[in-house]
Structure 1
């Protein structure tokens, strides 16, 4: 099942995607007001029954949002594909533990919504990634049971403002949290439809040109190990999002570097999930 969050006619909705349409379950499941709440209290039979007579909307008529509104944790893993460590050309050994940073919800938009290049920098870059959505809470989750806690998978363009990554001595928070600099979506594909333990091929294109391509077989820290590691120090909750790393080929690594500019289109694709597509525009100032 594909599940999306969206806005339509000034209201927020959510529901299953069927081809080029989505069924709006808003107000049709008692106590379930959004997709995060649905993940927490998922009853597949109830969802199916509610969807049977729910309003059908064309995807072209809705604005897709990041799939999980109100996610408590938006965790991002850095340098996770094996050959990415070589990009740094610092002679370092492969890491023993995952690199980790957090992003705010306001730093992401949904599918089809433009990414904003900020007024303070021209170094907006793309990073295509696969994201896990947690479906079952857990702490100290053993690696061999970890994938049982995955509700489903979605896609991420983990947009980054490169020069602002270097503002802090020990962190990358600034460059990773510009408002509307990244995207999530277009929807969640549930784990019963797409096995999170299968080998997945990720591709990123900019204006149709293939820039990134790799498979999850090359992850230094596979999905199950990430869940086991993260749950060793924090309780994972339904709706938490774990963005699992980007392959080589980001704009910063081209010679010379190539930054995103207004009019560009970035597409992140995985077979079985679909394509997350976003244009690029200059920041719309919202001072005050």
Structure 2
């Protein structure tokens, strides 16, 4: 299934995209794409519905992040060897975890306002997993059963704040709009091989990033199991799993986003995002 949330910010409704790419309204069946709806049992109930029995909805609706109720937005750094090399960093021996503020979450086509005082805004196309069931100290063999599905994430980053302001990557990763998710949550059963997802990202129509999840240093199961060793992941939590090479900070000379730049990114199964970056208001 491809699950979405549509409508104005703060008033999104749950929906799905059917086999004919028609937006269908799920609000008569569930309150939101959150909590128990994301469990194996909850998703099985949605899967049993006939999509054609659901009301069609205007496809021009804004899409929000495809999951609600997120308490924890976890990210993984340097999870592709070539990306670690382009930033002059060592390949980590264990998954390098950090947080993005939940308040950074945005829809896949929402604009991003460049924060006042920032100067090095960068892009990172990533695959994120959405947790479907409480996940604490689970084995690698069990980890995938706790994942509801996958979605795209642009891990927007302010490199000065991330690396030159005394540590704590959280500061450079968390401004409003720095966590676009979606356009849809693709349930785990729809992804035959999570280790074969091809990713791309363009800036103003120029290809900057291409990569595949086959090149991840730590795979999805390893990351989720590892994170759960230290803290509980709850339904609706997001774990975004790192970016391939081709970020602006790794270019010679570095290239960063400015007013009017357009970032597009995608994957054949997970859809596409588009963000217009604008100067501070």
Under a length normalisation based on structure 2, what TM-score does the superposition of the two structures give? 0.91
Residues 253/88 of structure 1: CA separation in 2 closer, same or farther (3 Å cut)? closer
The answer for unaligned runs of 5 or more in structure 2 is none
For 1:271, the equivalent position in structure 2 comes to 268
- Is residue 149 of structure 2 the alignment partner of residue 152 of structure 1? yes
Conserved? CA contact 1:16–1:23, under 8 Å: yes
For 1:54, the equivalent position in structure 2 comes to 54
Residues 52/221 of structure 1: CA separation in 2 closer, same or farther (3 Å cut)? same
Give the Cα–Cα distance (whole angstroms) in 2 for the partners of residues 271 and 255 of structure 1: 30
- Is residue 242 of structure 2 the alignment partner of residue 241 of structure 1? no
Q: CA deviation at 1:268?
A: 1.7
Offset from partner CA, 1:56-91 (integer Å, 9 cap, x none): 11322x11111112211110100100222222335x
Residues 182/234 of structure 1: CA separation in 2 closer, same or farther (3 Å cut)? closer
Conserved? CA contact 2:264–2:272, under 8 Å: yes
Give the Cα–Cα distance (whole angstroms) in 1 for the partners of residues 118 and 218 of structure 2: 32
Q: CA deviation at 1:126?
A: 0.7
Q: CA deviation at 1:5?
A: 1.0
Give the Cα–Cα distance (whole angstroms) in 2 for the partners of residues 8 and 171 of structure 1: 32
Secondary structure at 2:180 match in 1? strand
For 1:36, the equivalent position in structure 2 comes to 34
RMSD of aligned Cα (Å):
2.1
For 1:24, the equivalent position in structure 2 comes to 25
Offset from partner CA, 1:201-257 (integer Å, 9 cap, x none): 111111221111111121111111001101111222221110000111111111222
The answer for unaligned runs of 5 or more in structure 1 is none
Residues 43/174 of structure 1: CA separation in 2 closer, same or farther (3 Å cut)? closer
Larger strand fraction of residues:
1
Give the Cα–Cα distance (whole angstroms) in 2 for the partners of residues 70 and 242 of structure 1: 14
